[in-house]
Amino acid sequence: MADQLRNGRGARHAVVVGGSLAGLLAARVLAEHAERVTVVERDRYPDEPEARPGVPQGRHTHVLLEGGQLALEQLLPGVVDELREQGSPRVAMPRDLVQWQGGRWFRRTAGTSPLFTGARPRLEHLVRHRVLADPRVHAVQGAEAVGLLGDATRVRGVRLRERGSGETRVLEADLVVDASGRATQAPRWLAEIGAEPPHEENIETGLAYATRLYREETPGGVADCLGIYVIPGPGQTYGGGAIPIEGGAHMVTLSGLRGDEPPTDGDAFEEYAKRLPHPLLHDWLTKARAESAVRGFRGTANVRRRYDRPGRRPAGFLATGDALCTFNPIYGQGMAVAAISAVALRDALADRRRTPTTRRVQRALLGASEQAWSISSGSDKNMPGATGNAVGSRLLDRPAAWYLKRVEARYTGDPVVGEAFRSVLALVEPVSVLLAPSIARAVLFGPVPPTPPEPPLRPEDGDAGSPPGREGSPGAVRGASRP
């Protein structure tokens, strides 16, 4: 790929396999370097912000972390304001959520690292509209890639099959980017042309979750409703939350591990909420109205494909998004990493100090997902029954794990430690921010601060706040009683 995509010299055609967020944002970047970009999408895009079959998680809870917001703004200036104008709630933690983790309720101190909690189809619709408005970007819909053109030295395009008719055709390209998601077939495609598929690292906890849409019955209750989030961990493996989305509704998600997965029957789903360590969410459900069926999801393994490592791999092929590194969705990292990866692609192609070879750019893409991988895989390897070839820890990991355990014990009740740790979880700051002198002193020498003994239904300043999606923060949950 050397120099082909730098400043458009010799660049003719780039193909992106997969038209979700990672693929669309990659196409946005490539349009600055190629004469034309084709996005291949197996679905047909809906005219409105609706869930579609090719995004099986589209009907489940999603969040856009602050790091993803900042990256999106670099790629599509103004899109975050558009998201907010269309009603996506903006939630700043810990003020705006009632949260439980590791046996403690979080203090609801000033909110930092805000995240957007609107339904995923709306964000994807906004991004799609912006990207496909560029005349250099074209979408081929209702077709799926079934293989690569080329050989072990260079990829020269993709083979397509029309869904419905079954007709096949070839689409030649100077660069192919795999953004087809967690179900990618690229390792097999590479083997078929004589190349070496990547080594895969994986961690599987067996976590499964189910989601249902609810609306509060109490008139006006939505106007001052906040979210509830029970975070699972090694000592308490059930999780759940009621997270606000557009239009005053809430996505309610419940999770459990293999052998005890949340059911997809409506009544059984609500009964399952009783397994959480506190009745707060179950009580809320009994006073809310269900507005959808229950939908389950089981594919939650962490998988990283090491295209960056040496091997017999062709030039002209890259992987990004979930096709490169997929995370347990419970950590809410996927959309943010898609945007951060697109920024990394942009920077790698624009770097005048280094020739943007395939391997160098692929390393930059993997690096963009490194922090999210460390968070997700580092947490999941501690879950009971976790399996996979990346579960084991190195001797050097033990001091870091010991330190992070002390951070987690303090961030629920210490606003300073909490703000720093949230900035790391939000992919805004590197992990090294936790070693700043003021943080290290509190973590190493400070006591574990007290936290509320019961769910804190109001923020500490006593202000119930303003409605989700507007300036300010949501207030107390109506219908959720104290024990």
**Lookup result for tokens 């092929």:** 317
The two tokens of residue 480 are: 């959720």
Look at residue 226 in the predicted model and tell me its pLDDT.
Answer: 75
Query: What distances in angstroms separate CA 352 from CA 25, 112, 342, 347, 349, one per listed residue?
Result: 22, 36, 18, 10, 8
Residues of the chain with CATH 3.50.50.60: 13-62+122-202+300-376
CA distances 170 to 41, 160, 208, Å, are: 15, 6, 38
How confident is the model at residue 353, as a pLDDT? 86
pTM: 0.92
Residue 473, φ and ψ in degrees, nearest 5: -130, 155
pLDDT-flagged residues of the chain (< 70)? 1-11, 218-225, 395, 462-483
416 phi and psi angles, rounded to 5 deg: -70, -50
Tokens standing for residue 40: 């291949």
In 351-449, alpha helices (H): 358-368, 370-380, 397-411, 415-425, 437-445
Question: What are the residue ranges of helices labelled H in 31-92?
Answer: 66-75, 79-85
List Cα–Cα distances, 112 to 79, 100, 332, 427, in angstroms: 21, 17, 17, 13
Alpha helices in 32-99 (DSSP H): 66-75, 79-85
Contacts of 95 (CB under 8 A, 6+ apart): 108, 109, 110, 111, 459, 460, 465, 473
- Position 263, amino acid: P
Measured CA to CA, the distance from residue 174 to residue 115 in angstroms comes to 37
Preceding omega of 94 cis (within 30 degrees of 0): yes
Give the CA distances from residue 191 to residues 241, 279, 436, in Å, rounded to whole numbers and listed in that order. 42, 52, 46
Question: Which runs of consecutive H residues, i.e. helices, occur in 5-94?
Answer: 21-30, 66-75, 79-85
**CATH label, 13-62+122-202+300-376, candidates 3.50.50.60, 3.30.70.270, 3.40.50.261, 3.40.50.2000:** 3.50.50.60
What per-residue confidence (pLDDT) applies to 11?
A: 59
So what's the pLDDT on residue 295? 96
Residue 262 vs residues 54, 270, 273, 353: alpha-carbon distances, Å: 23, 9, 9, 52
Distance, CA of 93 to CA of 127 (rounded, Å): 25
Q: 3-state class of 460 per DSSP?
A: coil
The Cα 433–Cα 431 span in angstroms is: 5
User: Environment class of residue 478 by beta-carbon count within 10 Å: exposed (0-12), middle (13-18) or buried (19+)?
Assistant: buried
Q: How far is CA 276 from CA 74, 102, 230, 431, in A?
A: 40, 12, 8, 30
What's at 35, amino acid-wise?
E
Q: How far apart are CA 407 and CA 101, in angstroms?
A: 13
Q: Boundaries of CATH 3.30.9.100 in the chain? A: 90-116+205-297
Q: What is the CATH number of domain 90-116+205-297?
A: 3.30.9.100
Strands 36-41 and 13-17: parallel
Tell me the C-alpha distance between 410 and 415, whole Å.
9
Give just the sign of the alpha carbon dihedral 231, 209, 324, 377. Answer: positive
